Amino acid sequence: MSDDVVIIGGARTPFCEWVGGKRGDGKPGGLLKDYSALKLGEIAIKGALEKTNTSPEDVDHVVMGYALQTCGQAIFGARHAGLGAGIPQEVPMLTVSRICGSGVQSIVNAAQMIKLEEAEVVVAGGMENLSQAPHVLRGGRPEYRLGRPPQEGEALSANMEDYLFTNLLDGFCQSFMAQTSDEICKRKGVTREETDAFAAMSHQRTANSIEQGIFEQEIVNVDEIGYRDEDHVVVDSSEESLSQLRTAFGPESLVTAGNASGVVDGAAAVIVKSASRAQKDGDTPLARIISWGIVGLEPAIMAYGPVPSSRKALENAGLSIEDIDRWEINEAFAGQAVACVKDLGLDIEKVNVNGGAVGLGHPLAATGTRLVLTLAHELKRSGGRYGVATACIGGGQGIAMVIESM
């Protein structure tokens, strides 16, 4: 019979506004702009190893999510992050992408490896630097030889492409990610007032968590940048102030800059072990992984992904909505989160109690790991037993994980 799988602990970097945006206080973003996703991943892995007293030599595998591969060495992904963190070169390392679900997917991969007895100790996480998303020149290979790209001052043969903007659009359904939130809100009858009320709550809860140091135990510094430097949140957000913001896609849209997730940079990692190995090592695990659920759905309503994936994860766990003490739902957009909360029939006092991505930001592949880590700490803090971490995924998927506090 396969062993239980447990999360020993983990760490994340601060999540900081990307260089193309404004912080919550109105100042320019970019605190982490000079740290590649691989470097941020390295820092998160080091932090997770240190916080759990795990030796790099004890690691059997590294799995890191990386969605929008932005840096010059992106192809090496998890390999460079793991090696940089001091994990021996003999240890295999895997980069995965399930876009916004990558940070949960990496933990699923870790659990599967342990269940299959391929590993006992796995580092799992996600990393992202959206500030470093490049502008690219497509179609230039016939003109520019390998290793000889156009140089400063040369006239370009074609227009540049904004690689970040391009990937906000799902070409299959011809919808921007934000439009999938508007679509599910339209189908479920979510109003602008409900959306802004949820967003105001997210900003307020996030600001409170930062002020009270709730996230301090899960954050490691990036040089001098620490837990009080998480800067997307707008501290004085209110329903009234949010209602004054212009919508992104015309009068029927609900999405605004204030009720959508923040574009931020960051990374997160957790240490996952077999229960027997954890006992042997004398660990006190944070949580046990009970189940997960991964689904596909109509791309035009990808934002609805948390609903079917959570139902599947709960079914796999043999649990019901009523059994769950805390929920971490990625707030890709406030309207989308409202639709999911309403359809699942959740008590809002159990959902994102320390804030969410509208206030904190959403560094794509890092978010899922952050959700699971924050959830595990919150269950411990509140005395809850079961929790669900879940996210929608661009392209029309959803992912959810059920954990039990230990």
* Residues annotated catalytic, as ranges: 100, 392
Q: How many CB atoms lie within 10 A of CB 250?
A: 8
| CB of 174 closer than 8 Å to CB of 168 | no
| CB of 389 closer than 8 Å to CB of 328 | yes
Q: How many CB atoms lie within 10 A of CB 292?
A: 24
The CA distance from 183 to 189, in Å, is 10
Which class for 42: exposed (0-12), middle (13-18), buried (19 or more C-beta within 10 A)? buried
The secondary element (H helix, E strand) that includes residue 244 is none
The CA distance from 89 to 283, in Å, is 25
The CA distance from 131 to 20, in Å, is 7
Strand partners, 393: 397
Q: How many CA atoms lie within 13 A of 213 on its CB side?
A: 3
DSSP string, 323-341: G-SEEEE--SBHHHHHHHH
Three-class SS of residue 260? strand
The secondary element (H helix, E strand) that includes residue 12 is strand 5-12
What angle, 0 to 180 degrees and rounded to 10, lies between the N-to-C axes of helices 334-344 and 192-212? 100
The CA distance from 280 to 274, in Å, is 10
